[in-house]
Structure 1
Amino acid sequence: MTHPKDIKISAPEQFALLNDPDFLNQVVTRYLQQFLEAEITTFLQAEPYQRTGDRTGYRNGYKPRVRKTRVGRIELCVPQDREGRFHSGLFAHFQRSEKALMLALQEAYLQGVSTRKVTKITEQLCGTSFSKSQVSELCQELDADINAWRARPPSKRATVDVDLKKHIEAFHTRSDGTYGAPRIFKDLMDMGIRVGKKRVARLMREMGICGFSRRKSTQTTRKTQQSDKAPDLVKRDFNVATVNKLWVADITYVPTYSGFLYLSVVIDAFSRRVVGWAMARHLQSELVLSALNMALYQRRPEDVIHHSDQGVQYTSIAFGKRCREAGVRPSMGAAGDCYDNALCESFFATLECELINRRSFRTQA
């Protein structure tokens, strides 16, 4: 008998074993074939070519039989006797016990093989118990299978997975643990590595890593019914031919232990660069004016479009006056529609997810 302590399988081996349909198909086929041989031996009371007075009949070749199982299509050779009296009880019990068989085989390989476990499986499948010698022979087959499986060289796919995991870990570390499967997939494609997004997600699950998700939103845009809004000059088309033709702006917040700190930015739509920004403890028009003034000082544009939402800061008299003085054309999307200012919303989503949400700030300084 093989004691469970004699066989130890590491965690990577367990995962590979339970996710290798070819190996499981081979194991199930060998198991069932051995069960059939043990079953006819018990029925005839004699091993093949054994001379004994207890023999009740003789073998008469095999009949092929195909079964569809959870691990694929398996082909079995059902033994026959000369009188045609032998009828295997395996298939009648197998249909009801297939799931239990798969779990029992996996457990036997992961925790160790013993005659007690094998005897229990045979009784469930065939409705009868076999001799100790027959069960011991099945246990030896189990040991041979698992030793052959552990000694086999890694497949081509497994070798590629090892290299992919190195690249995935490098990209994930470089992003400070923020990149998930979609972004790492794009990075791999940029490197010229052809791989599926689902495969990247599977490997990340195996490695126990994932991206960082977003936080719940807080409203920072407040629209006033009395204010005059500027027309929408962008119409959700953020494609421009050069710099300083279209700027997008918005406001977000940074939570601290001493209250919210508000951040206003101005982004150039062509370069995707933040050309102006400002922070304050309030949501007054001075916040967005400071960000606009920084952008004007750094870029000195001519006839640039400043696109934002309909927040009271952007519809204020002071902000409109500053735009006229600098030759800036204000543009505003529809109220409550994030898609009209999608470029800036996307920037804030990345900033919040990958930087702000992952840190705690004690003060506003």
Structure 2
Amino acid sequence: MENSHSASYAAAGVDVTAGYEAVKRIKPMVESTYIPGVLGTLGGFGGMFAPDLAGMKRPVLVSGTDGVGTKLRLALLLNKHDTIGIDCVAMCVNDIICGGASPLFFLDYIACGKNDPVRIAEIVAGITEGCRQSECALVGGETAEHPGVMPDEDYDVAGFSVGIVDEEKIIDGKRLSEGDALIGLASTGVHSNGFSLVRKVFDVEHADLNAPVDELGGKSLGETLLTPTRIYVKAVKALLKAGVDIHAISHITGGGFYENVPRMMTEGLTARIELSSFPRLPIFDLIQKKGNIPERDMYNTFNMGLGMLLAVPAGEAEKALEILRAAGESAYAVGSVVRGDAGVELV
């Protein structure tokens, strides 16, 4: 590749040598995510992975894809790009674990106006950290320059992940029953949803994002909003390894409680969540106050302090809470499954 250079392509705005420099910088980070099953190394035309199917009767692949959304604008305004990749991984693997599947590998796609190898390496540093947190391998990716389509300093990040689960162990809500306990896992903040509203509320283009904010305990607005999405893979895997019978899981993302919780329920059952049972993070109070946003809209947009909701048999709730807390999660008993067709009730 040292001999690969096109003056004509460079004149059109694409510097292929910058791409090679970026690959050189990220290769050690990528290889740090490798787990058993990875074949080859960075640089091939396709990432290869040989899953261990031992003990599985009928392996099922579960896939997820997502991006980071307009949270990226905060990263650009603050010129901080080393955590946004965690968000990208989280949005994919947190969905996959909802089905009981363990993420195996991840691929990223970075589109940019101009390839800055240092910035690309910062973005990939976050992606590799997200992969390590979720115990999956980064097996490939793509960085594409879009001169004339995107401003030079702009970029977008998306990702794709694949997990695996034995068919008989899929978590799909079919075993949900009245009386099941609901357990909530704390979020780290806004995560990666609702940022178009957040940016409007705080007028982030003109705000001092680095100034300490009393309502946020002295932390700045920028630091608070850029806090990476919590990855729940290890915690859920710990429950499964301990034999906890998880009946359903919901990842609280865009659409908040009213959109995501009903997705884990089955017909005739409703998740009744007690709002006083978990702490509401200060950032959400600030958003609501600053934007004069109705209470229902808040719970229909944001996670409000809970990033994931699980349903387990009532008799296993205490055991599940102990395991989750031992795994480093802030976990709460937040309600129960009741009869009804609302899907979710917030009381």
TM range (shorter): under 0.3
TM-score under structure 1 length normalisation? 0.21
**Larger Cα-atom Rg:** 1
The structure carrying a bigger helix percent of its residues is 1
TM-score under structure 2 length normalisation? 0.22
The structure carrying a bigger strand percent of its residues is 2
